[in-house]
Amino acid sequence: MTARVAPAHALAAALLTGLAAANLARVPVAAALGAAAAAAFAAAGDSPSARVAGAALALCLLGWWWGSTRLEALDRSPLRPLVGRAGDAVVVVTSAFRAGRFEQRATGVVRTFESQRIGEPVELQLPLGRAPPAGARLDALALLQEPRGPSHGFDERTWLRRHGIHVVVRLDRWRITGHRGGLAGAADRLRRALAGAIAPGLAGERRAVLEGVVLGDDAALSPSTQADFRRSGLYHLLAVSGENVVLVAGGVLVLAWLLGIGRVAGEVAALAAIAAYVVAVGPQPSVIRAGVGGALASLAWLSGRLRDVWQALLVGGIVLLAWNPYLVYDPGFQLSFAAVVAIFTLTPRIDRRLEGLPLPRKVRVGIAVSVACSAVTAPILWLQFGYLPILGVVANAAAEPAMPVLLGLAFATAGLAAVAPGAAALAAAANGLVAAYVAVCAHAVAAVPFAQVSTTRGLAALAGTLLAAFYAWRLWRTS
């Protein structure tokens, strides 16, 4: 890290800290006044360090003010006083319905309730069976219910509140009257088009795995397959990552080069492709972080400045927490950022430790990444979900080499679908084999009796085993 970029890191970290601090205490007015005073101090500073310190304090307080304001907005609920009532409502479905054991659920927005304008996000609930698609506008008889409280280690009410949802709406009678328009409607159409284009002719588990990896949507996977991905430590493959964004941007740049288009136009097209992909996939923490990083990389090239990976990570966190400061509690946010920090910091050290092993360079790096991410994310998995996939390194070493092939074929299939449907079908069939291989890795590792630890006694045994293995490793390295 050079002295020139250090102030930028400090300022971005200060703003991020202020946004997160709103979860501890909300002081919007005091924070705004303090930000103004700190900015005046920074402007009057007589040394660079004083100006940076004043600017950092101003940004921290500004983030605190904005975070407090956003949390107050997220906590407002016109529907909460009406819980227990039923009435006619206009509802827009904002996600695909996911089937549970007894009902199916999705997110939505209540536009009106009993002719009163509302505009509040809710969780929708339907009996198993027919369900409207994402983006549908419904006229419905809606029953407003309180979310469930703590049960079996999960507090649904708190989890929904942190996503700005305070009411569960049971739809007893509904009919589709249209579909939402604007950017959200375009995102719905783009997502449906991409879901159809990446896997023409495929069905079942192979198609479900492709949709999970490319779109971050595991709804089509059976509960047993989802459990195997969790147990094997491969569930992170079903969340859109930076690898997806890199392949989208890289594919556009390669296509621009093949067509003889200049690099500047190619970078602009890559920015547009990244934005379209993020919109199609939806507001997941991992994809927004990856999208911000990819966009900053293109902008850095266009502006002639070196890309800074730490700055990209900080900006991604700022974007997410500026929208919803509650995301600091979200497992997806925590796991995504912890994994990236592990890759930046621990992976090079572990890779150097593995240099003496007779392994190809790519395999060694893959193991280093898996070990680093597993070590850093293990406390989060245990605290959030109460389990640890202890064979995750083995599963990832087997499955990760297939991921660039799967993603590359999926995006190539989507591109071919518009111009050569026959070639797209062949590419999808080949990709189905790759998806089947990834699923086999999950099933095979999950079938091992000790693949997952979910008890305190098992965690203690695992800790003792790791300490003994580390001691033996040090002895071997010394000798």
**14 and 128, same structural domain?**
no
Are both 285 and 359 inside the same structural domain?
yes
Structural domain of 406: 191-478
**Is the domain of 228 the same as that of 251?**
yes
Tens-place pLDDT, residues 209-241: 998 888 888 878 888 899 899 889 888 888 777
- Is 233 within the bounds of a domain? yes
317-334, pLDDT tens digit by residue? 898 899 999 999 988 888
Q: Same domain, yes or no, for 265 and 289?
A: yes
**Domain ends where: 128, 158, 180?**
180
Three-state secondary structure readout of the chain: CCCCCHHHHHHHHHHHHHHHHCCCCCCHHHHHHHHHHHHHHHHHCCCHHHHHHHHHHHHHHHHHHHHHHHHHHHHCCCCHHHCCCEEEEEEEECCCCEECCCEEEEEEEEEEECCEEEEEEEEEEEECCCCCCCCEEEEEEEEEECCCCEECCEEHHHHHHCCCCCCEEEEEEEEEEEECCHHHHHHHHHHHHHHHHCCCCCCHHHHHHHHHHHHCCCCCCCHHHHHHHHHHCCHHHHCCCHHHHHHHHHHHHHHHHHCCCCHHHHHHHHHHHHHHHHHHHCCCHHHHHHHHHHHHHHHHHHHCCCCCHHHHHHHHHHHHHHHCHHHHHCHHHHHHHHHHHHHHHHHHHHHHHCCCCCCCHHHHHHHHHHHHHHHHHHHHHHHHHCCEECCHHHHHHHHCCHHHHHHHHHHHHHHHHCCCHHHHHHHHHHHHHHHHHHHHHHHHHHCCCCCEECCHHHHHHHHHHHHHHHHHHHHHHHC
Structural domain tally of the chain?
Answer: 3
Does position 257 have pLDDT exceeding 60, yes or no?
yes
Q: Is residue 216 in some structural domain?
A: yes
Same domain? For 404 and 335 the reply is yes
Same domain as 387, residue 284: yes
201 plus 109 within the same structural domain: no
Indicate whether 67 and 149 sit together in one domain.
no
In a domain, 186, yes or no: no
- 364-405 tens-digit pLDDT: 887 888 888 888 888 888 888 888 888 888 888 888 888 888
Position 45 pLDDT exceeds 80: no
Asked which of 91-95, 96-100, 407-411 is least confident by mean pLDDT, the reply is 96-100
In a domain, 147, yes or no: yes
Residue 185 lies in a domain: no
Residue 272 and residue 413 in one domain: yes
* Residue 6 confidence (pLDDT): 65
| Residues 71 and 208 reside in one and the same domain | no
Share of the chain above pLDDT 90, in %: 27
Do 173 and 319 sit in the same domain of this protein?
no
pLDDT at 298: 63
Of 115, 147, 180, which residue constitutes the final position of a domain? Answer: 180
pLDDT in tens, 151-209: 777 788 999 999 999 999 999 889 999 998 888 888 888 888 888 888 888 888 999 99
Tell me the pTM. Answer: 0.81
The answer to whether residue 1 sits within a structural domain is no
- The per-residue pLDDT for 53 is 79
pLDDT recorded at residue 289: 72
Q: The CATH number of the domain where 140 resides is what?
A: 2.40.50
Which whole number is the average pLDDT over 45-53?
Answer: 74
Mean pLDDT rounded to a whole number for the chain: 83
Q: Say yes or no: 363 and 413 in one domain.
A: yes
Of the residues 158, 180, 202, the one at which a domain ends: 180
